[in-house]
Structure 1
């Protein structure tokens, strides 16, 4: 899975990277400890729509939820079942997006049972672009909210010793297909990243707190 990540690129650079029109309500960056339920940067597009860089709540809310916390917090969607799960299947066909990150965190257990955090990032130093699905959810007050989930798949050899799941990571040539700009066939993109694509290092346990902030969170120890 992916339960936390960092984003250090300025919003205007993200918009330029994706050739997307930026909205005015984008979250503040940098953020070295992006947690579920906060607003994050998401790129949307489609065959008949220009790319937009917009803010969405990280935590997909299905249309039948009466409240945003009416059921499980859906921050990830499994690639293997995304086309079948009622919560995600329509979004997987019609509402796919891209989430950019500088890296993300996963945890292992120490022999003493403590949570040991790891930071996972691109070996090339480039930003990671994660596949996502999104949904507009209307609350009981009639207000519409855009919500999203990160699509995950099996881990590769580089990360399997840390966690058995990994976000679906997409290369620039794959973005149009995932966004629906280049026809059908996005399902074939939902596979583990190449073995040499990622690098990992241990980071300080300070990131175990969802209130922790600052660049020191991603420094190796």
Structure 2
């Protein structure tokens, strides 16, 4: 799964990376502890124009009477996304890219204490996660919400957690965004091995209020 992540890329760098038009209300960066219900950066494509905008992390199905009317849907499993009523329509027609530097995951020690890990690409390139999005609410209170698509963990981090974000390479972006026609389902598979690296970080990140670059600094277990 993915429940926290970090992003430090400036907005202009992201706009160039994705060849996207940036919105004026993007969340500030750097951010070292992005949590569910916060605004995240997301890239969409329509009529051959890519846009970099802000979305609330926590997908809200159209039938929710309030944004907290049901479970907080921050992740969507690749294996079942096309079958789930909450996600099926978005999986077909409303897909997005969610950039990150890396994400956090947790293991537990013998006393069940939560031990955080930071996970990133070995090549240190931006980690671009597959997402889906949904507008919710009426015209006076409309919000755009999203979820991160997850797949089975690759071998290099499976000992930490059995799930991970679906990470897309630049060559995959047009297909995921719908620019290259149909076939996005072929991208929903575990990533290759030896692509990611992970290290233990300070338990300070366990608090959703914690911030600062030190949150992802390696510590000695």
TM-score (norm 1): 0.97
Cα distance, 1:191 vs structure 2: 1.1
Deviating beyond 4 angstroms after TM superposition, the runs of 4 or more aligned structure 1 residues are none
Q: Does 1:163 align with 2:161?
A: yes
The separation in 1 between residues aligned to 2:178 and 2:194, in whole angstroms, is 28
Q: Which blocks of at least 5 consecutive residues in structure 1 are unaligned?
A: none
Does 2:29 correspond to 1:67? Answer: no
Matches within 5 A, 1:4-23: 4-23=4-23
3-state SS in 2 of match to 1:43:
strand
Deviations 1:90-147 (A, max 9, x none): 00000000000000000000111100000000000101000000000015x8411100
- 1:44 aligned to 2:29? no
Which residue is equivalent to 2:142? 144
Q: Residues of 1 paired with 2:200 and 2:11: CA distance? A: 28
Q: Superposition RMSD on alpha carbons, in Å?
A: 0.9
Q: Deviations over 1:168-219 (max 9, x none)?
A: 0000000000000000100010111211110000000000000000000010
Which residue does 1:183 correspond to in 2? 181
Unaligned runs of 5+ in 2: none
CA positional deviation for 1:154: 0.4
Alignment-derived partner of residue 116 in structure 2: 117
What is the TM-score with the length of structure 2 in the denominator?
Answer: 0.97
What residue is the counterpart of 1:34 in the other structure?
Answer: 34
- Matches of 2:93 and 2:14 in 1, distance apart? 23
Output the CA distance in 1 between the equivalents of 2:211 and 2:43: 25
CA distance in 2: counterparts of 1:49 and 1:148, whole angstroms: 21
Count residues in correspondence. Answer: 219
**Native 8 Å contact 2:135 2:143 kept in 1:** yes
Counterpart CA distance in 2 for 1:49 and 1:30 is 29
Q: How far, CA to CA, are the matches of 1:22 and 1:163 in structure 2? A: 34
Give the structure 1 partner of residue 130 of structure 2: 131
